Amino acid sequence: MVLGTQWGDEGKAKVIDYFSPQFDYVVRFQGGANAGHTVHVGEKKFVFHLIPSGILHEKVQVVIGNGVVLDPGCLLEEMESLAGEVSFAGRFWISNRAQLVLPYHKWLDAAKEKKSKNPIGTTLRGIGPAYADKVERLGIKTGDLFLPEAELTERLEKSYGFLLKKTVWRNFFVTGKNLLLTSRIRNVLFKLLLNSDGIFFLKEHRGHFLMWILAPIPLLPRQILWLRMHWLEVALGSWT
């Protein structure tokens, strides 16, 4: 596992890129698009915000886990920037329980930062507000995108219906809904989603395991017995 303890810029991406060929999976298990992982391959420079940097190694499977707060627009931009450089087919996966970052989260992030007498210097990517919704069991997850439109709208209204009460806020609700209903986003994610409840059983059957993000901790001893290697990527610095 790679963890940053100095609030970023410690060179995690370099370490992950160096060791990735020795592992079957590289799993991003938390964080969001506020992260910036830079990898140099020859004269080429790659900057990752959401996609695990292990994607540069063709034999490695990469996973965005359910602990990540996912900005769908940012994900599409990143995938497009890597088009022609890496192959995503059959080796890039996203948990169906990853929390989505919506326009409202970015607005709230910026508003709180501006209002605060002691701003903390966030990246204004909506990460904090999205995690707050995740903890409160609110918001939309990647798997929700494939619900019938009426049911998806109902879930949006349950979490963010208060935005409709004021004209000045209404646009954030409408923009978020339109984003989630965008066929381009749904088409891309449909090919990448993993069922977080069932995927570790599939991997167990094949002699593989996704540790910590898609499988319970008690399964770790069996993973060790199988001598399978998995590389877990964390986006942010940590503190105790």
9: left (phi over 0), alpha (psi -120 to 50) or beta: left
What is each CA distance from 177 to 10, 63, 114, in whole angstroms? 37, 26, 26
**Start-to-end Cα distance in the chain:** 17
DSSP secondary-structure letter at 28? E
Q: Catalytic pick from 17, 37, 49, 105?
A: 37
42: left (phi over 0), alpha (psi -120 to 50) or beta: left
Q: Catalytic pick from 9, 59, 191, 197?
A: 9
The rounded distance, in Å, linking the Cα atoms of 168 and 158 is: 19
Known binding-site residue numbers for IMP: 9-12, 34-37, 123, 137
Residue 71 catalytic? no
Known binding-site residue numbers for Mg(2+): 9, 36
Residue 37 catalytic? yes
Known binding-site residue numbers: 8-14, 34-38, 123, 137
Phi, psi of 106 (to 5 degrees): -70, -40
Asked whether 134 and 99 are in contact (CB, 8 A), the reply is: yes
Q: Catalytic pick from 106, 134, 203, 230?
A: 134
Residue 134 catalytic? yes
The rounded distance, in Å, linking the Cα atoms of 123 and 127 is: 8
DSSP secondary structure string, 91-120? TEEEETTPEEP-HHHHHHHHHHHHH-SS--
Known binding-site residue numbers for GTP: 8-14, 36-38
Provide the annotated active-site residues: 9, 37, 134
